[in-house]
Amino acid sequence: MMESRSPICNTCGEEIGVKSNGEFFVACHECSFPICKACLEYEFKEGRRICLRCGNPYDENVFDDVETKTSKTQSIVPTHINNTPQVDSGIHARHISTVSTIDSDLNDEYGNPIWKNRVESWKDKKDKKSKKKKKDSKATKAEEHEAQIPTQQHMEDMPSNTEAGATDVLSVVIPIPRTKITSYRIVIIMRLIILALFFNYRITHPVDSAYGLWLTSVICEIWFAVSWVLDQFPKWAPINRETYIDRLSARFEREGEQSQLAAVDFFVSTVDPLKEPPLITANTVLSILALDYPVDKVSCYVSDDGAAMLSFESLVETADFARKWVPFCKKYSIEPRAPEFYFSLKIDYLRDKVQPSFVKERRAMKRDYEEFKIRMNALVAKAQKTPEEGWTMQDGTSWPGNNTRDHPGMIQVFLGYSGARDIEGNELPRLVYVSREKRPGYQHHKKAGAENALVRVSAVLTNAPFILNLDCDHYVNNSKAVREAMCFLMDPVVGQDVCFVQFPQRFDGIDKSDRYANRNIVFFDVNMRGLDGIQGPVYVGTGTVFRRQALYGYSPPSKPRILPQSSSSSCCCLTKKKQPQDPSEIYKDAKREELDAAIFNLGDLDNYDEYERSMLISQTSFEKTFGLSAVFIESTLMENGGVPDSVNPSTLIKEAIHVISCGYEEKTEWGKEIGWIYGSITEDILTGFKMHCRGWRSIYCMPLRPAFKGSAPINLSDRLHQVLRWALGSVEIFLSRHCPLWYGCSGGRLKLLQRLAYINTIVYPFTSLPLVAYCTLPAICLLTGKFIIPTLSNLASMLFLGLFISIILTSVLELRWSGVSIEDLWRNEQFWVIGGVSAHLFAVFQGFLKMLAGLDTNFTVTSKTADDLEFGELYIVKWTTLLIPPTSLLIINLVGVVAGFSDALNKGYEAWGPLFGKVFFAFWVILHLYPFLKGLMGRQNRTPTIVILWSILLASVFSLVWVRINPFVSKTDTTSLSQNCLLIDC
């Protein structure tokens, strides 16, 4: 319950007063326009007897029995989604995206502007703050502080539980042992010194007989060295973290009291249910609904960006099955809580299950799940062929999303307080279906646009302070995963400046050898832990818990502010009437070059006077940033979440439909400075980068039991296309204004090593160019008899030996502190070469064509049916142009090896010594491409003929051109050759 003042007069700013019967003074009974008695009398004297808002005449008896300038408290029931009428929670038709200011519900139920209510609340907060400073008693100070801080902020000031020990600490940093990290850093420095000496030798000792080969190799080696520096030094200070979930519960979940844990909104995104099986999405949703977390703190939003009726109907079935599955999981503490993966576990499920009823209930639940799967498969089979007239719902009406490119916004609330309960009568978390509006002529920005739509609709309906986004094929593997994240985000010391907590990605369904490095173990267990010791890991697209305020573009509360550069600026940076005397006092952030709208730090509002504060939160400045929705705008100012109390509950769904309209983002900062950032198909890297540039930091959380698990492409073609997409996104960022080479340098909030890490994420595709050249050099050397290195001296031999030893030592020490196996490291090294000479190479050319010439080239994969065998898809080879470059390199190097041995046999014993270095160089390329060769052949040796033909053709053309041009071999003097021929006695 919340107390509210008398509404404010829209003319003079005074309270409108109440009548003797306790009711507020109302001048116009048609629209409740707020105006006090004195102002209304002046209007009557001037001859204006018509309401300024609606145009209806005033009642002549409005002055009877009025007491001006009095106030009365009135309780306002907090609005909630469960108060929404049932008629508003179903499928909604087209909603007009351009609403006027009057029709956009910018006033509360008394007609009072929301913005003035916000000013009054801050005025009260300032008064209480000034009173607090005059108090000398600590107890009184604590009471005053509790009165001014919202309930969800009390968690930071709750006393420690003496029985639990030091419960103030929810997480600790565990540094790498000094012996491991010190030796690791020493070897890195030694390798850097050896590299400098190595390049000094390479540059000062050219190979005159093969100058072109030597120059090419030196350029490639310099690029590889730079790439190593960009990749290595962000791992300079890796750390581990440990969380204490029991202390979190002891602090925020006291017995007999309501849980004080923060609410979390889950986002699950899907597009095409025929490519992303609805059963997998259903398992993800079920694992979220069954979390070990208070049900009133969990809301699950499923984004159907394809507006498919199959997705909607499958969610209906999922909501019904959740009524049985959720209580079963919580009763027996099931792990994981995705039924498909729980029932597929090959373990003794009777172990540690002492309840006699468990076996019976488990068998019954498994039967129910099998029936659920049958119904889901029936829906999928039905959706295989779309009727000519389009899909029709059960009530006979046409499905609004029959045209996937032209349909209205749709929202359906399935579960929640007002929805169905589980079979035991308990409440379930909210489950909301969302499909944003799409119209021709509008740019929808794919996944990033869908995520931003979910941000807005969730802010209107639930507005949890934290957001966790998951791909539809990533289920919750650890039911306590959210509690793990809250140990950081709700920690009053650690979580103040944390914008998101990133969990590592783990995958099911991959063979043990992990031939194509699908698990990405080196990246998630080495690189990300290194970044955690700097400013935090990068955002990888899924398994991330965000602070909602960080997504809105606000700066971290404790970051030092930048003093204003001038006395005036645009709408978001106002002219200060009087500068504070103390320079250490907190200022509002000056208008940063990347911001063109009203994005500021909430903590700065208390440092402005009443007039400046009212201007800062003016409707105009916020609309230019967040769009035309008063309900959403007010929700952005609520740091601790919750639905604004000033909104009418009957308009929530209408407002939610409005914020997902296709034209809502026009002329706003969505996708530019707030929300998921547009401009790259890897919007995750770009979004996290913008947050780190603002001064936020992130945290890497690696619980013993993986928090989330997903499915990864395991066959060669799909894996290469996945890597192509990532690399193309990096090239797009490199060619955009957000390039980490220069973006955000002026603010100085991005640490140097963190910037190096982001630079590495956008320049690594360009390594494909020197890599292709370097992998071609062995074949050229074998075919021409030349080499890129001159005859080695003792000093040169020591340099080469030292370089190889430093490389090995760096890898070994990295394995020691990270715990990664040598097989994972080798697989990562192999796929770095495979992806570099194929997907990365295509990404560079495709990125330049797309960004510079406007040509969007797509390399599509033709699907084939997999055999019904374990890892059967691993052996499928799908035709794609990405297969041609690495296949050509393999053939060229194999031909070169054969030619080299043939030449050595012809020349005799003296030729075998130089041949060793060349063959070793060639075998280095072949060993790195071996998984590609094995995957290309497949189990049944069914390599696409076109791949072999293209590769042989390219290798043959290359060989013929080489013989004709032969650029790297010194030309033979034909005159002396003819003279020598004349001396031959035939």
Residue pair 290/338 in contact by the 8 Å Cβ criterion: no
CB neighbours of 420 closer than 8 A, spacing ≥ 6?
Answer: 319, 320, 323, 414, 428
How far apart CA 644 and CA 462 sit, in angstroms, is 10
Helices (H), 564-703: 610-616, 619-626, 630-636, 652-659, 683-693
How far apart CA 886 and CA 951 sit, in angstroms, is 9
Q: Tell me the two tokens of residue 936.
A: 């290309």
Three-class SS state of 718 = helix
> Is residue 126 a known part of a binding site?
no
> Is residue 305 a known part of a binding site?
yes
State yes or no: is 684 an active-site residue: yes
- Name the residue type at position 568: S
Q: Tell me the two tokens of residue 846.
A: 């495709």
Write out 778-792 in H/E/C secondary structure. HHHHHHHCCCCCCCC
Three-class SS state of 506 = strand
> Is residue 275 a known part of a binding site?
yes
Bridge partners (DSSP) of residue 507 are 710
Angle (CA) 725-731-734 rounded to 5° is 145
List the catalytic residue out of 105, 108, 589, 684.
684
Three-class SS state of 521 = helix
- Name the residue type at position 685: I
> Is residue 907 a known part of a binding site?
no
List the catalytic residue out of 305, 532, 589, 718.
305
Residue with tokens 């320049």: 763
Q: Tell me the two tokens of residue 76.
A: 């306002």
How far apart CA 841 and CA 32 sit, in angstroms, is 66
State yes or no: is 272 an active-site residue: no
| Residue (of 707, 751, 716, 739) closest to 883 by Cα position | 716
E-assigned strand segments in 216-335? 239-243, 264-270, 298-304
E-assigned strand segments in 835-974? none
| Residue (of 664, 649, 199, 602) closest to 461 by Cα position | 649
For residue 875, the 8-state DSSP code is G
How far apart CA 656 and CA 659 sit, in angstroms, is 5
Residue pair 249/490 in contact by the 8 Å Cβ criterion: no
Residue pair 659/453 in contact by the 8 Å Cβ criterion: yes
> Is residue 276 a known part of a binding site?
yes
CB atoms within 10 A of CB 782: 27
Bridge partners (DSSP) of residue 711 are 508
> Is residue 366 a known part of a binding site?
no
> Is residue 447 a known part of a binding site?
yes
Residue pair 289/428 in contact by the 8 Å Cβ criterion: yes
Q: Tell me the two tokens of residue 414.
A: 């399935």
CB neighbours of 505 closer than 8 A, spacing ≥ 6?
Answer: 474, 520, 524, 540, 542, 543, 708, 710
Residue 709: which H helix or E strand, with range? strand 708-711
Q: Tell me the two tokens of residue 197.
A: 């000496």
Residue numbers in the known binding site for UDP-alpha-D-glucose are 269, 275-276, 305, 446
Q: Which residues are annotated as a binding site for Mn(2+)?
A: 447, 471
Catalytic residues, by residue number, are 305, 684
